[in-house]
Structure 1
Amino acid sequence: MSGIPATPNVVASPIPTSHGEIWLLPDDSGDDLTQKPPKQKASGLSAVVTSLRYAWGEAGLVRGTLPLLQVNQKDGFDCPGCAWPDPDGKRSSFDFCENGAKAVAHEIDTRTVTADFFRKHSVAELSAHTDYWLEQQGRLTEPMILRPGATHYEPIAWEDAYAVIANELHSLASPDRAAFYTSGKATNEAAFAYQLFARQYGTNNLPDCSNMCHESSGRALTKMIGIGKGTVKLEDFGKAELVFVLGQNPGTNHPRQLTALQESKRNGAKIIAINPLPEAGLMGFMNPQEISGMLGVATQLCDLFLQVKINGDIPLLKGIMKQLLEWDDAQPGSAIDHDFIAQYSSGAEELLTDLRAADWDTLVERSGIDRESIRTAADWTRSTEKIIICWCLGITQHTNGTQNVCELMNLLLLRGAIGKPGAGPCCVRGHSNVQGDRTMGVWEQPTQALLDQLQTVFDFEPPRHAGFDSQRTSLALHRGDIDVFVSLGGNFLMALPDTRFAAEGLAKTRLNVRIGTKLNRADLVAGAQSLLLPCLGRTEVDLRQSSTADGQQAQFTSTENSMGVVQSSRGRLKPAASGLRNEVAIICEMAAAVVGDRAKNDWRAWADNYDLIRDGIASTIGGCQGYNEKVRQPGGFYLPNAARERVFNTPTGKANFTVNPVPEETLLPNQFAMTTVRSHDQFNTTIYGKHDRYRGIFNARRVVMMNAADMQALGLSAREKINVTSHHQGETRVLLDFQAVEYPIPRRCVAMYYPEANPLIPMGSTDASSNCPSFKHTAVTIEKAAGK
């Protein structure tokens, strides 16, 4: 594209910056939308072919194939995609999924973005392209700076870049006028160094991506069982007798989970899927590791599909528990584990009183599930004690997300289904090390115990007041209360709700800094200055100058998966460009420039020898003693999880039941509940392509999935252009020129792709406990686009 079109078809006007007018959401929908029936089974040969085609297209035959043989291996690197765990014992030589292969290929891209690219393209011109186009330009190769008033990025030396950062941070009136964001892709070493640097500088402003996804899970689990993590191990799936999968699409977002669910089924377990959309990965699985799977033979996974209304989970779970209680009242001990409740729990009577008072008609109407189906789910629940409940963002991203998680925990506790083989909560994390980031101390509300330990080990007084999470950082940016914003990976702008509001805030800073592998829109919505610091990917070898040996030594990093296993990650590929540095080294060198001799630790030494960082982790983080030795063991090691042993580190010393009201009906007449979803061709904000193969939607992302009866009631035909307006406390936000598509979703519910739908989601609509934005429930109205 030679320049910005005179009248580009965008959903909102550009925002003014000192570097030009920046477009936020260029329209790439076109008129190519095609639709096929949704798939009823996931993976198989098509997934393998798609994986290889994408990998070879991005990186070539050799470079695109070798990493797939190393990903998730005990002597290889951890997948940069999701956080699903690897088997403790023997692993397949092909232990990756389609989206994992895409994540790897995206990272090992042979295309490069050089200084010449930025000389040709102004930031304003780049903003007229889609996010997909931006990332398809290739890997960032050298540090770049967008200077005050400039229209183009230009090269800058590493040390000069660190000097810019140090000068800006040193000039702030308060350390709290800086914020340090973290993506869940950051490794343990990077996360630990990053939070230590921020606190040595003087702030707890450590927003991270977990604030926008599983923060509700952490709050609920900590309150109820004393640890903000699930208790299930991968081996438990083979021992379970009943598995619930709630608010989750494993076929797209966590495909390797399908293998675990297949093992559950083959060992006799029943699976209940609860979701507003009938996702292919909930129904059937063609295991690509097996000949039958490659030939299209699927294992039926779902025994009972409960298609709840959006945010109908609490009334459904309450209905299952009410039915259990009615049976138990009639025959004590037949449906509730009273021995577990008496010995290990607190607060059961309050819950039982609430269940007895619950109105069946309300539970059925609000959940959208008929009484007989609820009875069936309850009957399967009372007939087994080995129950696993899995959940993801469909549960957590609500204004009552924490209560949603609390309610599913209530169900497990009523059955005593925790702290024994084949049972427990399985919080399915998204990004590969989002759980590890929190373990390493990336949190805006650190415990006093962590701060005390940091003070003891590193001999400084860390800030004691709470910092800003992601949503509060966005608010502070918009108020002009943040002058320097540093991002360790990720795409902060496009991950947030209310995209225009977030962009206006980022544009007010004095300096934005992002450490990453590829260009994204957050790099274009710059403050007075902006720095791009390119880093190595996990697939690439990381050579650092050794002070104890001749020449350079290869460094490795580590991550923590969804089930609390810490393992090493060793890249083997030649870097995409000479001069690239690991995110760990960049953080350490940045910290050396900013805090310098004020730090007890030698940041320059840490940059060259990650063992020194791991020694710091071992001295600071509970359960990480002997970290350097343990992480070198094949397969790594498990972090302590007392709840697995029925030891509940809560104020009561027991597992705590909670009472959670049925959410109020907030939809007005003619309004719909809108949920955001990811397509099969994306991972979080990264778009790999424009197809959603399993849902049967191709060549378009600006779509609204609607029930056929709702479309008929509005007089809408398939592919008709529509405008969508969100409603929140008297505020409205509008997206123009989307297309309506018929989809099997409950009445008065619609689904739209993230992040295209994010401008509709109010910044102030968050969970009261976790402050997680409500991406999964926004009230919207729909009307035909003018002149369409």
Structure 2
Amino acid sequence: MSSKRIAYYPKPAGGLDALKASLAALQGQGIVAKGFATLSHANQPTGFDCPGCAWPDRNHHSSFEYCENGVKAVAAEATSHRVTPALFNGATVTELMAQDDYTLESHGRLTEPMRYDAATDRYVPVAWAEAFALVAQHLNALPSPDDAIFYTSGRTSNEAAFLYQLFIREFGTNNLPDCSNMCHEPSGVGMRPQIGVGKGTVTLDDFTKADAIFIFGQNPGTNHPRMLGELREASKRGCKIVVFNPLRERGLERFADPKNPVELMGGETKIASQYYQLRIGGDLAAAKGLIKAVLEQGAQDRKFIAEHTEGFESFMQGVLDEPWADIEAASGLSHSQLLEAARIYITSNATICTWGMGITQHKHSVATIQMLVNLLLVRGNIGKPGAGACPVRGHSNVQGDRTMGIYEKPAEAFLDKLGKAFDFEPPREHGYDVVAAIEAMAREPGKVFFAMGGNFAAATPDTEATWAALRNCALTVHVTTKLNRSHLVHGKEALIMPCLGRTEIDQQAAGPQGVTVEDSMSMVHISLGMNAPASPQLMSEPAIVAHLAAATLTRSKTPWLWLVEDYSRIRDKIAEVVDGFADFNARLKAPGGFYLGNSARERNWQTLNNRAQFKSHRLPEEEAANQLFKLMTVRSHDQYNTTVYGMDDRYRGVWGHRRVCFINRDDLIKLGFGAGQWVDMTSVWADGERTARRFLLVPYDIPAGCLASYFPETNALVPLSAFADEARTPASKSIPVRLSLHVE
């Protein structure tokens, strides 16, 4: 671990340091030789899909289809470190709670199922059959199926997700909150009524044909580094890359491709043609300003608008009536900056708009996404080569899980087909999303909380309230590969069910099995593990679901254990139920899998009126400042979602720290504070104040009035009731806070 210091990092993203960090990750997990052998199978036609991000694979025959982020994810899964009962014999749950997230992660892979023993405050071994019986006993004793909550992580495979939602619906509830509720829910909610589909409309091939790529609220250098390869190639051929982001992020500025010998030894490629540091939450106004410039110059695509859209005239008038002064104030950008960006957009014949959680985790995220889609529609940039909408999702199968039915608001047509295929009547009432699930657990004692992967206690907002809600449960259960915070924030009874990782051989009755995933661009492909399991007691996620269902649903007509003998049987049932998966098993044989298709990409608008819809939105009213800052929560470079791989944030120049607060230098002067001082952050909300203590002030290139700090440390500041309109995603990127000097 690095010594604690703040030191500017002068190099581009990637390069030799990315290779060094990758090697260090393998060394730290004690698997250098095994690690390189494992990585040679990553993202290959007969290998496993990287358990990191959901960015698609360009070349399925390349031996180097992974990145630093992926290496860390693979190393963490293939680690030589093990969590055996000895760890729990030596430490109580209370003692383990005192360890930080990095330390918990570093203990390694869980080796056998464990049950919480309240008398000793320790986890103790439990047989699988006993564990399944305990869950079944609790579930079947509930007054209503709706008293159970079933969470899903985006790393869950299609096969496991399909069986999981089937089990839950046969049990009798649609309580299926998932990680989408905390990240890209606004993308689907915003896009579906506008263009008829909630997924991105581009493929990787479009990145080779775009004249311009507009990037909003996204940091690919840390969150999905393989995207930098596409941006590098686009930049080198002359594509304009226009970035809107409050923070200066190295991966959006400069990149050195570790696969390129020249760049590996000191060369680099400029990524952003223009970089606009708008204020936090200013993206809606910025997009509206770009549209206003297009309309004022008469540069809209009149033919496309007339043939394919509805609502343009009233939308146009609303945009033209918006004063430039209001747009500038709300965006934090000048008139000249907005016109400069608009000129690039107008001169581009094909433009991609891409965005991440810097857009989705705001109160006005749905309106912002619809304004970005308006921006594309006004010049006909959906449904032609090199153009379209590209929401970039995080976890490797978060999009696939939703396709498989992991959704608290299922479509009636999906439920009809599911019921027909398995001969039962699915519940129709909508279930809980993440926020509603936390509220329900807090309000009503005795619920059962079951998590298929993830780290719910660390990923969720309003930490104190969420933890209290989980502790209010009669039973909490976690299917997982490694120990994390959620296993220590438990109900009255608790189970840890260790599962196979994606790099491991999944041996079932019919032989080794593969699972499938869907990436951010709707490509579905198979994943085949190649390592021996970390322990002979591990079960696969599909097998865990099947055994739990068999133990719980004693009258079910579904042959649960037969289905998991051969996963092709599960895929045959998926083909019966899920649109786009006809001949599922046969289509998987193509290298790289198959494309699900996208109706909007074909300009087939599956909206109420069979036309793409312009959606009007006023600029948000600015709340009174009252000396408050806007805080955005971010990941460090040594982190993926809630998994902390190390304590460094290389590109931002932070070494050995995590409790830091990035702040504008002028704001430091105005406050009378200095770099290196420790502060407390207090969020101010209608229901009261929340404080996170002892953060190091770090001057950074960020707009005045804006702060940034890492999660999950700052999740405690996000009120449970602060969420996106319509989508209810926690507004973790725009938290009103004040700073005060920390007193020891």
Q: Structure 2 length normalisation: TM-score?
A: 0.99
Tell me which residue corresponds to 1:459: 423
Cα deviation, 1:466-486, whole Å, max 9, x if unaligned, reads 000111101111112661100
Aligned partners of 1:614, 1:482: CA distance in 2, in Å? 36
Q: Is the 8 A contact 1:56 1:65 kept in 2?
A: no
For residue 216 of structure 2, the aligned residue among 246, 249, 258 is 246
Equivalent residues in 2 for 1:160-309, closer than 5 Å:
160-309=130-279
In the alignment, structure 1 residue 55 sits paired with structure 2 residue 26:
yes
Equivalent residues in 2 for 1:377-392, closer than 5 Å:
377-392=341-356
For residue 350 of structure 1, the aligned residue among 314, 332, 342 is 314
For residue 104 of structure 2, the aligned residue among 134, 141, 162 is 134
For residue 667 of structure 2, the aligned residue among 710, 722, 735 is 710
Amino acid of the structure 2 residue aligned with 1:779: P
Quote the offset at 1:149 in angstroms: 4.3
Amino acid of the structure 1 residue aligned with 2:484: N
Aligned partners of 2:119, 2:559: CA distance in 1, in Å? 36
In the alignment, structure 1 residue 515 sits paired with structure 2 residue 473:
no
Tell me the secondary structure at the aligned position of residue 352 of structure 1.
Answer: helix
Tell me which residue corresponds to 2:84: 114
Amino acid of the structure 2 residue aligned with 1:305: Y
User: Could you list the runs of 5+ residues in structure 2 that have no partner in the other structure?
Assistant: none
Amino acid of the structure 2 residue aligned with 1:74: P
Quote the offset at 1:39 in angstroms: 4.4
Cα 1:687–1:90 change in 2 (3 A) is closer
Deviates more, 1:690-699 or 1:598-607: 598-607
Alignment RMSD (CA, Å): 1.3
Amino acid of the structure 1 residue aligned with 2:283: D
Cα deviation, 1:446-498, whole Å, max 9, x if unaligned, reads 00001101111100011000000111101111112661100000001110011
Quote the offset at 1:384 in angstroms: 1.7
Cα 1:641–1:658 change in 2 (3 A) is same
Aligned partners of 2:61, 2:466: CA distance in 1, in Å? 43
Q: Is the 8 A contact 1:214 1:396 kept in 2?
A: yes
Q: Percent identity?
A: 44
Moved over 4 A (4+): none
Quote the offset at 1:667 in angstroms: 4.4
Amino acid of the structure 2 residue aligned with 1:676: T
Cα deviation, 1:105-125, whole Å, max 9, x if unaligned, reads 000111111112211111111
For residue 567 of structure 1, the aligned residue among 520, 525, 532 is 525
Aligned partners of 2:135, 2:290: CA distance in 1, in Å? 55
Quote the offset at 1:295 in angstroms: 1.1
Quote the offset at 1:669 in angstroms: 2.4
Quote the offset at 1:385 in angstroms: 2.4
Amino acid of the structure 1 residue aligned with 2:509: Q
Tell me which residue corresponds to 2:57: 86
Aligned partners of 2:467, 2:606: CA distance in 1, in Å? 41
Tell me which residue corresponds to 1:156: 126
Cα deviation, 1:478-532, whole Å, max 9, x if unaligned, reads 1126611000000011100111100000001111110000011111111111000
Quote the offset at 1:35 in angstroms: 1.2
Aligned partners of 2:476, 2:443: CA distance in 1, in Å? 16
Aligned partners of 2:139, 2:56: CA distance in 1, in Å? 38
Tell me the secondary structure at the aligned position of residue 273 of structure 1.
Answer: strand
Tell me the secondary structure at the aligned position of residue 579 of structure 1.
Answer: coil
Aligned partners of 1:187, 1:456: CA distance in 2, in Å? 23
Quote the offset at 1:40 in angstroms: 5.8
Aligned partners of 1:534, 1:259: CA distance in 2, in Å? 35
For residue 628 of structure 1, the aligned residue among 572, 575, 585 is 585
Aligned partners of 1:232, 1:667: CA distance in 2, in Å? 40
In the alignment, structure 1 residue 443 sits paired with structure 2 residue 443:
no
For residue 12 of structure 2, the aligned residue among 38, 41, 46 is 41
Q: Is the 8 A contact 2:211 2:240 kept in 1?
A: yes
Q: Is the 8 A contact 1:667 1:673 kept in 2?
A: no
In the alignment, structure 1 residue 405 sits paired with structure 2 residue 363:
no
Q: Is the 8 A contact 1:589 1:603 kept in 2?
A: yes
Aligned partners of 1:375, 1:482: CA distance in 2, in Å? 57
Amino acid of the structure 2 residue aligned with 1:358: E
Q: Is the 8 A contact 1:512 1:529 kept in 2?
A: yes
Tell me the secondary structure at the aligned position of residue 767 of structure 1.
Answer: coil
Tell me the secondary structure at the aligned position of residue 102 of structure 2.
Answer: helix
Tell me which residue corresponds to 1:729: 686
Aligned partners of 2:196, 2:347: CA distance in 1, in Å? 28
For residue 502 of structure 1, the aligned residue among 446, 462, 466 is 466
Amino acid of the structure 2 residue aligned with 1:371: H
Aligned partners of 1:404, 1:481: CA distance in 2, in Å? 38
Quote the offset at 1:607 in angstroms: 2.4
Quote the offset at 1:585 in angstroms: 0.8
Tell me the secondary structure at the aligned position of residue 493 of structure 1.
Answer: helix
Q: Is the 8 A contact 1:142 1:155 kept in 2?
A: yes
Quote the offset at 1:148 in angstroms: 4.6
Tell me which residue corresponds to 2:611: 654
Equivalent residues in 2 for 1:773-784, closer than 5 Å:
773-784=730-741
In the alignment, structure 1 residue 614 sits paired with structure 2 residue 571:
yes
Amino acid of the structure 1 residue aligned with 2:668: M
Aligned partners of 1:38, 1:664: CA distance in 2, in Å? 38
For residue 700 of structure 1, the aligned residue among 657, 680, 691 is 657
Cα deviation, 1:327-383, whole Å, max 9, x if unaligned, reads 11xxxxxx1001000000011112101111101111112211111111111111111
Amino acid of the structure 1 residue aligned with 2:592: G
Quote the offset at 1:59 in angstroms: 3.6
Tell me which residue corresponds to 1:493: 457
Quote the offset at 1:601 in angstroms: 2.1
Q: Is the 8 A contact 1:674 1:751 kept in 2?
A: yes
Quote the offset at 1:92 in angstroms: 2.2
Q: Is the 8 A contact 2:212 2:239 kept in 1?
A: yes
Quote the offset at 1:49 in angstroms: 1.3
Deviates more, 1:66-75 or 1:745-754: 66-75
Deviates more, 1:586-595 or 1:208-217: 586-595
Aligned partners of 1:349, 1:148: CA distance in 2, in Å? 65
Length, aligned pairs only: 744
Aligned partners of 1:563, 1:514: CA distance in 2, in Å? 29
Quote the offset at 1:581 in angstroms: 1.1
Q: Is the 8 A contact 1:233 1:563 kept in 2?
A: yes
Quote the offset at 1:189 in angstroms: 0.4
Q: Is the 8 A contact 1:494 1:521 kept in 2?
A: yes
Q: Is the 8 A contact 1:726 1:760 kept in 2?
A: yes
Aligned partners of 1:50, 1:243: CA distance in 2, in Å? 29
Equivalent residues in 2 for 1:465-484, closer than 5 Å:
465-480=429-444, 483-484=447-448
In the alignment, structure 1 residue 554 sits paired with structure 2 residue 554:
no
Q: Is the 8 A contact 1:178 1:482 kept in 2?
A: no
Tell me which residue corresponds to 1:579: 537
Amino acid of the structure 2 residue aligned with 1:566: V
Q: Is the 8 A contact 2:479 2:499 kept in 1?
A: yes
Aligned partners of 2:128, 2:499: CA distance in 1, in Å? 12
Cα deviation, 1:659-698, whole Å, max 9, x if unaligned, reads 1111221242211000001000000000000100000011
Tell me which residue corresponds to 2:698: 741
Quote the offset at 1:406 in angstroms: 0.5
Q: Is the 8 A contact 1:589 1:607 kept in 2?
A: no
Q: Is the 8 A contact 2:661 2:709 kept in 1?
A: yes
Tell me the secondary structure at the aligned position of residue 29 of structure 2.
Answer: helix
Aligned partners of 1:327, 1:783: CA distance in 2, in Å? 48
Tell me which residue corresponds to 2:65: 95
Cα deviation, 1:12-33, whole Å, max 9, x if unaligned, reads xxxxxxxxxxxxxxxx9xx953
Aligned partners of 1:393, 1:76: CA distance in 2, in Å? 29
For residue 633 of structure 2, the aligned residue among 663, 670, 676 is 676
Quote the offset at 1:640 in angstroms: 2.4
Amino acid of the structure 2 residue aligned with 1:94: F
In the alignment, structure 1 residue 324 sits paired with structure 2 residue 294:
yes
Aligned partners of 2:601, 2:201: CA distance in 1, in Å? 5
Amino acid of the structure 1 residue aligned with 2:537: G
Aligned partners of 1:636, 1:97: CA distance in 2, in Å? 21
For residue 395 of structure 1, the aligned residue among 339, 359, 368 is 359
Tell me the secondary structure at the aligned position of residue 390 of structure 2.
Answer: strand
